[in-house]
Amino acid sequence: MRVLSINIAKAQKVEYQGRWIETGIFKSPIVGTVPVERDGFDGDVQVDRKNHGGRDKAVYAYTQENYRHWETLHGVHEYPHGQFGENLTVMGMPDDGIHIGDIFTVGQSVMQITQPRVPCFKLGIKFGNPRFVADFLVSGRTGFYLRVLEEGLVQPGDAIVLRVADPLRVSIRDAMHAWISGPAQPEWIEKVLAINALSAAWRNDLTKRLKKNL
């Protein structure tokens, strides 16, 4: 597991359905060592702090294995890093191989996985295709958010080392079964809610969904 790039963005205004909105999804790789703090990478903007920021979702990571999948599916030779709005483009961290609650050393920092990413309409803007949001959601290739347990410096090429494996072993891909409607959804919601490291946002949303299913 390794960091391939660190991607940040300033707020940018784009036109959407006849109105102007601000977004930080247009991230680009930067060179050199970057401090990561409790609220994310230095210099990065999180416009929608409710859905994409805060300490439980300080860093968003997306793995190279997912890049290869979408490049093949879309007939694209190579997407630039940051294409999915991620702060960290990584390798060796497929969604079915890492778990909510896992703790990693990333460069000089320590981070913990808190939830999968649930895409919003801005991902459709980035790809020029609003239907891509639904495709991404059900793909099992959503990537994941991390909270920063220990601040530190990170740079491209840094190793990512598993420090603590969450005992419940609910992968990012499996956790999406708790979000997407289906006959097994209540069972998956209960499994995900049992994870101590789960983000507060997902805990609140899944608790509401479980009550509706009871």
pLDDT of residue 116: 97
Domain coverage including residue 20:
2-166
- The CATH code of the domain that includes 107 is 2.40.33.20
Domain count of the fold of the chain:
1
Q: Using a cut of 0.85, tell me whether the model's pTM lies above it.
A: yes
Residue 159 within a domain: yes
**CB neighbour burial string for 160-193, b if at least 16 within 10 angstroms, e if fewer:** beeeeebeeebbbbbbbbbbeeeeebeebbebbe
Instruction: List pLDDT tens digits, range 115-158.
Output: 999 998 899 999 989 999 999 999 999 999 999 999 999 999 99
Residue 189 within a domain: no
pLDDT of residue 97: 96
Residue 182 within a domain: no
Structure tokens at 78: 């190579």
Residue 140 within a domain: yes
Output 18 or 141, whichever has higher pLDDT: 141
pLDDT of residue 182: 87
Residue 196 within a domain: no
Instruction: List pLDDT tens digits, range 36-57.
Output: 999 999 988 776 666 667 899 9
DSSP class per residue in 2-54: EEEEEEE---EEEEETTEEEEE----EEE-S-EEEETTEETT---S-HHHH-S
Residue 192 within a domain: no
Residue 114 within a domain: yes
Instruction: List pLDDT tens digits, range 57-95.
Output: 999 999 999 999 999 999 999 999 999 999 999 999 999
Instruction: List pLDDT tens digits, range 147-202.
Output: 999 999 999 999 999 999 999 999 999 999 999 988 889 999 999 999 999 999 99
pLDDT of residue 65: 97
Q: How many CA atoms lie within 13 A of 92 on its CB side?
A: 11
214 pLDDT exceeds 80?
no
Residue 12 within a domain: yes
